[in-house]
Each structure stands twice: as structure tokens, then as C-alpha cells.
Amino acid sequence: MNVISKPLMALASLSGLVALAGIAVAKDPPILSLSMEHFRDTATLKDDALDTTATITTEPGFIEHQGLLRFVTHDTFLRGFINKKTGEATTQVYEWITYDGDWRFYETANFSTLNGPVSAPATQIDKQVDACSTLSCTHTEHVAFTIPEAYLRALAAAYVPGKPAIWLYKFIPKAGPDFTDGLSNAEVAGFIAKIDDYTAAHRLAVPSKQTLGVLFAPMSPTPDNSARTGLLVIQVKDGSIAQNAGIAVGDIIRAFGDAQITQPTDLQAAVAAATPGSSVQVKLIRAATDMMVTAKF
């Protein structure tokens, strides 16, 4: 899926076709015209050779073609990897970007939350040189960043049929310009629906887990602040351990007991290891001030 669907030429169109020098060429539908059901029904599902993981992707849902020759210079979509034994899903935003010039090497993704932008590491999946001239080469980078399934579910819950909205993010390279793109929350909702349909059809269920009751987004160091790490709290569930401990939206969780927290898996593992009936000290940053609260299990 790409955010902006551009017409091939500002010429008369009829029944979704654009006239180009006497040739009728299919026109891409506007991204915001596509529904949750469209993305759910066009999402693909593939089992691995060992039948341990199912991969769901929304890649076929929307591809933006540009210019008279209908080139595709970038594409973005969602991927989910479902553990067929536990039912747990790892979810990613995947993007491939083609550009001319020197390698950019995208390293970080910034994305928007209710409390402003946060950062996550960008993982390079693949890269290739497509063509070279005497002046420069054309490169393509395939990059992805992991985003908690719970956050995608919050985006999906905000989807209103007939009124989809765009969730924005930006890839930041080692050198060169940033690349901004986004996903329709209709695509997010369709992706989550596809995951839920698969889980229900295969009778997979995630085991009951001990949780803090927070929705969070990872943060990454910036050039001017190398210590900017932890998990930004973007939602606190009513009656949860987190709410009872005094954890609030906007807090940054830096440590849980003896465990330093830099990635979602750090917190998930630390919480899962907490003994029922125990109390754990949680280190937070609130409004640039370090503080401690106690989580009681």
C-alpha cells in the first residue's frame, strides 16, 4: 500500500481508465477508497515448509503505479508471522524504496502515536543495484520495522467504514533524504481481521499471559540523545497492574526490576517472569524526570 495514488496523466478518464495517446491504461484506485474488507480479502497467507509459521501480508492490497510506463518505485505493506503452536504474532511494517544516487542505508523508523513521534530500529531485509550509468546507480532497499500487534489493534479500532485515515511514518537513512510514507487504517484493520480469521479457523489461542496492561511503542537513540531508549507508554488499561502502580500515558519505561528495557521483548519477558504476589520496581522517565513506581502482581 502507498499513501498517494497519482493519475498517470491529467486527461479524461472513463470507467477507471485513462486515455493515453489512444491507449487505455488502468488507473490505480485512490488509496482512501479501499475498505477494510478489500485488504482482508486480498491479503495472502503462506505456511512455511515445516508448518510452524504462517505468514500474512497485505502486499497485494494496493500498489502505486507512476508515469506513462506504470513504474512502481516503492511499496509498503504489513507482514505478520503467526506461531502455529502458540498463536502469537510478530507484526512488521515492510517497505521497499527505489532511488538514484549513493546508498542511503535506512536505519531508523519514526512513527506517530497519540503522544507524538517515536522511533524504532529499521532492519534491512534486502538491497540491490538495479541499473548504473556513467553518473549514478539506481538502488532498491527493502527495510522493515517491528511494531507491537497491540498498537496495530488500536489503529484498527479507530477505523470508520467509509472514512479511512492515514497513519504516517518516516524512514531515516544513514545518509541522504528521509522517506515518508503511511498506511491506511483500513489496511491495518483488514490485516488484523485476517490474523483473527486465521487464528479462529485453526483454533489457535495465545496462552493467557501476565501483563502490565499497557500499550507501548519502542524508542531509539537520536544523534543528540544517545540515552533515548525505552518504551513509551501510549495507553494504560483501566484496572491494570500498570494503572494501580501509577504508570501513566507519556511515561517511558527504562527498567523493570533488574532488567533494562530497550525493546518490547525485554518488557514482555520480565513481566512473564514476575512471581504472582510479588512486587517489582519499575524505573520510569516522566517529563524528563527519573522516578520509580512499584508494580504489584
Q: Over 50: is that where the pLDDT of 4 sits?
A: no
Q: Over 60: is that where the pLDDT of 112 sits?
A: yes
Q: Tell me, what's the pLDDT at 181? A: 95
Q: Which three cell numbers stand for residue 14?
A: 472513463
Q: Would you kindly state where each structural domain of the chain is located, as residue ranges?
A: 13-201, 214-296
Q: Over 50: is that where the pLDDT of 218 sits?
A: yes
Q: Tell me, what's the pLDDT at 195? A: 93
- 149-157 helix and 185-201 helix, angle to the nearest 10 degrees: 120
CATH of domain 13-201: 2.60.40.1880
The proportion of the chain whose per-residue pLDDT surpasses 70, expressed as a percent, equals 85
Mean pLDDT of 108-120: 76
pLDDT band at 12 (very low <50, low <70, confident <90, very high): very low
Mean pLDDT of 40-65: 91
Higher pLDDT, 5 or 92: 92
Q: The whole model's pTM is what?
A: 0.69
Q: Over 80: is that where the pLDDT of 1 sits?
A: no
Pick the CATH number of 214-296 from 2.30.42.10, 3.40.50.300, 3.30.360.10, 1.20.140.10: 2.30.42.10
Q: Tell me, what's the pLDDT at 209? A: 60
Cβ neighbours, 10 Å, residue 128: 11
Burial, 30: exposed, middle or buried (Cβ in 10 Å; 0-12, 13-18, 19+)? exposed
pLDDT digits (tens, 9 = 90+) for 167-214: 999 999 999 999 999 999 999 999 999 999 998 888 776 555 678 888
Q: Tell me, what's the pLDDT at 21? A: 44
pLDDT digits (tens, 9 = 90+) for 152-172: 888 898 899 999 999 999 999
- Whether 214-296 and 13-201 are alike in CATH topology: the answer is no
Q: Tell me, what's the pLDDT at 20? A: 38
pLDDT digits (tens, 9 = 90+) for 219-252: 766 566 555 678 888 888 888 899 999 999 989 9
Q: How far apart are CA 241 and CA 210, in angstroms?
A: 10
Mean pLDDT of 45-60: 90
pLDDT digits (tens, 9 = 90+) for 55-111: 999 999 998 887 777 788 889 999 999 988 878 888 999 999 999 999 999 999 988
Q: How far is CA 93 from CA 89, 125, 235, in A?
A: 13, 12, 21
Q: Tell me, what's the pLDDT at 155? A: 87
